[in-house]
Amino acid sequence: MIQVFKFSYLSGLAEKQHNTLIKLEPKRGTIYDRNLRPLAINVTAYSLYANPRAMSPAKKAEVIRRLPEILNLNSKFLTQALSKEKYFVWLARKLSPQQMEEIKMLKLDGLDFVKESKRYYPGGELAAHMIGFSGIDNDGLEGLELTCDRYLKGDFGWTQIMRDAKQRALLLEKSFFPPEDGKDLVLTIDETIQYIAERSLDKAFKKHNAKGAMIIVMDPKTGEILALANRPTYHLGHPTKSSQDSHRNRCVTDMYEPGSVFKIVTASAALEEKKFSEKNMFFCENGAYRVGNHILHDHQKHGNLNFSQVFEQSSNIGVTKIAQQLGAAAIYRYARLFRFGILTGIDLPGEVKGVLKPPAVWSKTSIGAIPIGQEVTVTAIQLVCAISAIANDGVFMQPFVIKYIKDQKGELIKEFKPTAVGQVISKETALRVKNILKGVVENGTGKLAKIKGVSVGGKTGTAQKVTGGTYSHSEFYATFIGFAPVEDPKIAVVVVFDEPHPSHYGGTVSAPVFQEVAQDTLRYLRATKSSVIVQENH
């Protein structure tokens, strides 16, 4: 009976009892900044398991009594785990070194450890909304950890080892299939610039009691994102301790009416179409102007202003008069050329395209709204790309955050190069708009963005939020977009605050953040360049 009829069953049981297949975890790829400084790495961690079938009731009771305090678990969980008729059950994953040492000192039978790896984020909150995080099994759950999981994760390996009659592992391997480690990501982000941007944004976010805040620093000539941050934020090592709202990458997922920063579209269209020159005069109606059945107001009463001054002083009435002569079709066409209402294609999850209505559905008052940044919604990433196009002689560059992917031997797997999407406006027009935006900072609403010894171009925007179908008089978005130096732009920056108070103007809330970030970033870039030149000379 045993040798013949039960041979297959008993030999299979013996095989299971004396041989065990162990899954070998691959090392998850590292995420680096552009200078190969690690932003996400793997560190060794140990996980605790039990063999309930090899434990007596007394041993199980001792484990249930002594482990809850060390593992911060309730005894009910341990009771359920140890009641299973299994050779292997997890009790706790990826323990701290202190926890592991405390458990080892107890010398409890039936317990052992498995060596695994644990994701570690050296910067804590730094670049949280780009990097994202992974779960207990090293699966990407948010951000680049999620979208690039197929590269980062790697492939599991296996090994078959022998066990003795008491189910203890013997140092005998029957077969071995090694794991394939994950690939490394190298980002366009510069850790130092990211820190500069986050430090300034965080300080202003708290100072102005804002509901939310966003900042992006971009190289206008390549489309490389040098820094991107949001507030509120969260710690990558403890994502469950923060709200879902703080996980949102507002820079790509949140759309809002931009207000006066959108006037760069009208200025560009007017000059590119050769309908106006910088010296054309406009009567700004002393602050009140009827468009359809709506009275349009300026934040300050103006009489006659020339074309450049209309944008320097951010006159809604002056811009509307320019737009009326251009026509709805031209405004819409240039807004599309600047990629509003279209995805930028940035390699981050969750991007939305905003809303840009075609002229066929404009109302009688739309010509007095859309050119000044109402009845249109945009994202922060769209704004920084638009101002970058002006800074980059009219060429729109696709934004990106992944520079290249390499394997553990340093071999290049995939590389992402700068991509020109198209010529939005001519180089000549871009130069003229740059000079107008330089005037905004030197003579107009953007004076707080000035940097000593550096020419700056930019545009302020203060937009009323729409609540309950009407424009609010107490809730605003404050925005500043800009670039520097004007002659040879190295960086373009967008700064946005959601419901700052008591001050809510883009020129007083967002412009100073731009000034601080741009000044420190340019100083850092000059120092870095000088260091490289010195090294090359040596």
Which residues have a catalytic role annotated? Answer: 260
Rounded CA-CA distance 475/356 in Å is 22
Burial class of residue 345 in the structure, from the number of CB atoms within 10 Å of its CB (0-12 exposed, 13-18 middle, 19+ buried): middle
- Give the SS3 label for residue 399: coil
Identify the CA nearest to 335 among candidates 354, 308, 311, 307.
354
Q: Which two tokens stand for residue 79?
A: 């009771």
What are residue 415's phi and psi, to 5 degrees? -130, 145
Q: Are strands 31-32 and 184-187 parallel, antiparallel or unpaired?
A: parallel
Rounded CA-CA distance 513/428 in Å is 30
* Cβ contacts of 271 within 8 Å, gap of 6 or more: 425, 429, 432, 433
- Give the SS3 label for residue 16: helix
Q: What is the CA radius of gyration of the chain?
A: 30
Rounded CA-CA distance 145/348 in Å is 10
* Cβ contacts of 373 within 8 Å, gap of 6 or more: 257, 258, 259, 260, 261, 262, 263, 461, 463
Q: How far from chain centre, in Å, is Cα 22?
A: 37
Identify the CA nearest to 182 among candidates 34, 37, 30.
30
478, containing H or E segment: strand 470-484
